[in-house]
Amino acid sequence: MKAVILAAGKGERLSQGEDKSKPKPLIPLLGLSLIERAILSVKKGGIYDFVIVVGYRSEEVVKYVEEKQKRLGVNLDFVDNEEWKKGNGVSVLKAREKLKDENFVLLMCDHVFDLSILKELLEYAKNRGDKCVLCVDKPENVFDLEDATKILLERNKPKAIGKGIKNYNAVDCGLFYCTPAIFNALVEEIGKGKYELSDAVQCLIDSDNLEVFDVHGRFWCDIDTQESLKYAKNKMLKSLEKPTDGIISRYINRKFSTKIFTPLILKIYKEVTPNQVSLLSFGVAVISALLFLLCHPVIGGFLIQLSSILDGCDGEIARLKNMSTGIGGFIDAILDRYADAIILLGMFYYLMVTKIFDPLAVIFISSLAIIGSLMVSYTAARAIADLNYRHRGNRDFRLFILFIGGVLSYIHPVSVFFSMVIIALMTNITVMWRTVISWKMFRE
């Protein structure tokens, strides 16, 4: 199946802001231009062939997207709609020649949406015969209701569509599953001088050729203004908080990473990859260990916490840029484990060098802390591999304890020793606990 992306409009209101110089499809949102984001979102839904209808400053848009094509990993076909000023219905019709009577997905490059919406739409649209399916949402979920295309539903059947209709109970999310029926409707309406897509959709409604799919309040946003861009940004950053986040992640790390570090990193270097951020977090952990080694445990402690926060950013950037991959998760995990071990090794040396504790006790506690930290993660990985079971991680909490241990050494170095004792106990007990509950759950 192919996807048609409309990227022909000027987007005047949006371009009035800081990104005046850019055509709308090229405006960046959290590390991806709108057109890249649209392509990657659809790609995650399993579609690799695209027809992109360009119009306003088309050469610039085509050049930009073609440069990214290899990285995007999709097949692109461009259609230049010189009549883009007339209305978006014309743009859709221009794509007809590229589609050979196939069904296709239709979306606007200025709409961002949760990845699950497309997947469920495709699932829903199977076996609907020749009918087109339009994604709809409740009016109260829309950021800019005034500008939205409204729909009137009666018993879940669409009755009317249009920006100006007074009586409505849903809005159009800008994501369609189309059959070739749409082209007949477009030809008919354009013949009447009605150039908007919604005119053709009204025609589909009249001939009972349209169904709707309720997105149930999942995130989507039509980005038409600076305000909606900002709204989408905040919503997307907010969505990075995971229900599986540990307590320190939820109340501390995610606040810093989603509100400060991730947007900052993307602002400084838009092309950043998640792996680069993983390396940054690892580098900070190594510096922290060196600071412990050189007997600067307070700064070392702060850097542990910084590394812990940055460790959230790689995954956030991966999700924001639709770049989450198995290999990325794998490399991040390996780096995290080395970071854990190296931090503990730095603290170990610090305790040996301060000479206020019995060296054999320090060796014992530090080794147990290193072993336990790695074993907690090992148990989690094996539980997935052997039992297909996911344990909740607690790296955020472990690093937080070490951070506190480091910082409190300002008062007395014993705090470092105590934080290691806590880690040594906590981690190894966690492993035992996981082994016991796994046994109870999975023995045959």
Q: Which residues bind its own copies (CB under 8 A)?
A: 73, 325-327, 329-331, 333-334, 337-338, 341, 345, 348-349, 352, 359-360, 363, 366-367, 370-371, 374-375, 377-379, 381-387, 431, 435, 438-439, 442-444
Closest to its own copies by CB, 203 or 339:
339
CB of 161 to its own copies, least distance (A): 39
How near is the Cβ of 7 to its own copies at its closest, in Å? 24
CB of 337 to its own copies, least distance (A): 6
Residue 285: CB minimum distance to its own copies, A: 13
Burial class (CB in 10 A: 0-12, 13-18, 19+), 50: buried
Q: Is the dihedral of CA 284, 288, 294, 296 positive or negative?
A: positive
Would you say 268 or 360 has its CB closer to its own copies?
360
**Cβ 383 to its own copies shortest distance, Å:** 7
240 versus 383: smaller Cβ distance to its own copies: 383
Is 252 or 374 the residue whose CB approaches its own copies more closely?
A: 374
Q: Which is nearer to its own copies, 232 or 369 (CB)?
A: 369
Residue closer to its own copies, measured from CB, 247 or 387? 387
Q: Which is nearer to its own copies, 260 or 334 (CB)?
A: 334
> Please, what is the minimum distance in Å from the beta carbon of residue 275 to its own copies?
9
Dist CA 57 CA 266 (whole Å)? 26
Considering the complex, state which of residue 175 and residue 383 has its C-beta at the smaller distance from its own copies.
383
Question: What's the min distance (Å) between Cβ of 372 and its own copies?
Answer: 9
Residue closer to its own copies, measured from CB, 251 or 378:
378
CB 68 → its own copies: shortest distance, Å? Answer: 14
Alpha-carbon torsion, ordered 342, 348, 353, 356, to 10 deg:
160
Report the nearest approach of its own copies to the CB of residue 316 (Å): 18
The token pair at 313 is 């950013």
Angle between helices 326-354 and 297-320 (to 10 degrees): 180
Cβ nearer to its own copies, comparing 195 with 282: 282
**Sign of the four-CA dihedral 333, 339, 342, 343:** negative
Shortest approach of its own copies to residue 361 CB, angstroms? 12
Q: How far is the CB of 188 from its own copies (least distance, A)?
A: 43
Q: Mapped to the 3 state alphabet, what secondary structure does the chain carry?
A: CEEEEEECCCCHHHHCCCCCCCCHHHCEECCEEHHHHHHHHHHHCCCCEEEEEEECEHHHHHHHHHHHHHHHCCEEEEEECCCCCCCHHHHHHHCHHHCCCCCEEEEECCEEECHHHHHHHHHHHCCCCCCEEEEEECHHHCCCHHHCCEEEEECCEEEEEECCCCCCCEEEEEEEEECCHHHHHHHHHHHCCCCCHHHHHHHHHHCCCEEEEECCCCCEEECCCHHHHHHHHHHHHHCCCCCCCCHHHHHHHHHHHHHHHHHHHHHHCCCCCHHHHHHHHHHHHHHHHHHHHCCCHHHHHHHHHHHHHHHHHHHHHHHHCCCCCHHHHHHHHHHHHHHHHHHHHHHHHHHHHHCCCCHHHHHHHHHHHHHHHHHHHHHHHHHHHHHCCCCCCCHHHHHHHHHHHHHHCCCCCHHHHHHHHHHHHHHHHHHHHHHHHHHHHHCC
Joined tokens for residue 388: 């297909």
Question: Please, which residue, 247 or 356, has the CB nearer to its own copies?
Answer: 356
The CB-side HSE value for 280 (13 A sphere, CA atoms) comes to 17
- Tell me how far, at minimum, the Cβ of 293 lies from its own copies, in Å: 10
Q: Which is nearer to its own copies, 99 or 375 (CB)?
A: 375
